[in-house]
Structure 1
Amino acid sequence: MSEPRWLDATQQLDWRAYVDGSVRLNEIMDRELKAGHGLSVAEYEILVRLSEAPDRRLRMAELAAHASQSRSRLSHTCSRLESKGLVRRDNCPNDKRGVFAHLTDEGYATLERAARDHVETVRNFFVDVIDPDDLAAIGRAFTQVVKRIGEVG
């Protein structure tokens, strides 16, 4: 077995800063969304993805890929959203195994309210504290991370 390619001291500091910052940012976003709108970050992300889709609906498999959730986890999350009246699921008419998730009008209205607060949280703890050049670099970097994960996943 070959020796791992260990991180140097600077890489280790950068990695730890990313892990710590992303975990804490996610916790803040989750806390704010739950307190203000009764939504978790995962639920919010599903509502966003559905709102951006044609006719505000996606097949569950496609939604799982876009929302970065396993199909099993997505199913549980959609069940919670259904119980709140924010999403409904319907069978696909031309594929008996396929299921669509639809964003309801109530779900869209909830998303519109939550988005106003969520964007302030994102700005306050992320966008406004990062130099614009660094923010652009983060965007480029994580585009490459997602691309690499897609290649091996």
Structure 2
Amino acid sequence: MSSDARRRDRVPQPLTQDEEAVVRSLGRIIYALPRVVDADMMREQRLSLTEYLALMHLSEAPDRKLRMGDLAVAVEMSGSGMSRLADRLEKEGLIRRVRSRQDARGWNAVLTEAGFDRLAKAWPTNLASVRRHFLDHLTGLDLGTLAAALRGIAT
């Protein structure tokens, strides 16, 4: 390989017009999509997107139970933020917190039947919002390839 070719490999190349458009749009959607879905959820369900996501992750976990730290990671919250969220959900009877059997210092969040019912009631609103604000705009794209690419970026 010539020295010019090696230098070209090391020097960042300017973005094409399409690349620039994708990068800028992705930056906007990362912030805009959760806000509009949250607004729909609050207006129609009086349940925030974060509350919905916590219930959803618990519903998918074995025995509908997750360590509080794992739930915080899944919902992309700090530990203290997750504690405040869990306080609200527990007061509403949607989850309960129990000591971990594996680690007496740890706590698990457990989805209650009322929490599962609340999730089931909110699911259609979330689905409609995600379709309207996101998936309907991807018609004609290869979603499998897009999903693989996004997973690659996320990891």
- Per the TM superposition, whether the score is higher than 0.5 is yes
Any conservation in 2 of the 1:37–1:110 contact (CA below 8 Å)?
no
**Paired letter, 1:74:** M
Equivalent residue number for residue 143 of structure 1? 151
**Paired letter, 1:8:** L
Equivalent residue number for residue 80 of structure 2? 72
1:8 paired to 2:44 = no
- Percent of pairs with identical residues: 32
Within a 5 Å distance, the mapping from 1:1-150 to structure 2 comes to 8=15, 10=17, 11-147=19-155
How far 1:103 sits from its partner (Å)?
0.7
Q: Mark the runs of 5 or more structure 2 residues left unpaired by the alignment.
A: 1-10
Q: Distance in 2 between matches of 1:84 and 1:59?
A: 19
Taking a change above 3 Å as real, the CA distance of residues 135 and 94 of structure 1, as seen in their structure-2 partners, is closer
Query: Which structure is larger by alpha-carbon Rg, 1 or 2?
Result: 2
Any conservation in 1 of the 2:95–2:112 contact (CA below 8 Å)?
yes
**Paired letter, 2:43:** A
Structure 1 residue matching 2:76: 3-state secondary structure: coil
Q: Mark the runs of 5 or more structure 1 residues left unpaired by the alignment.
A: 148-153
Q: Which moved more, 1:44-53 or 1:120-129?
A: 120-129
Q: Distance in 2 between matches of 1:9 and 1:73?
A: 40
Structure 2 residue matching 1:97: 3-state secondary structure: coil
Structure 1 residue matching 2:93: 3-state secondary structure: coil
TM-score normalised over the length of structure 1: 0.83
How far 1:8 sits from its partner (Å)?
2.4
TM-score normalised over the length of structure 2: 0.82
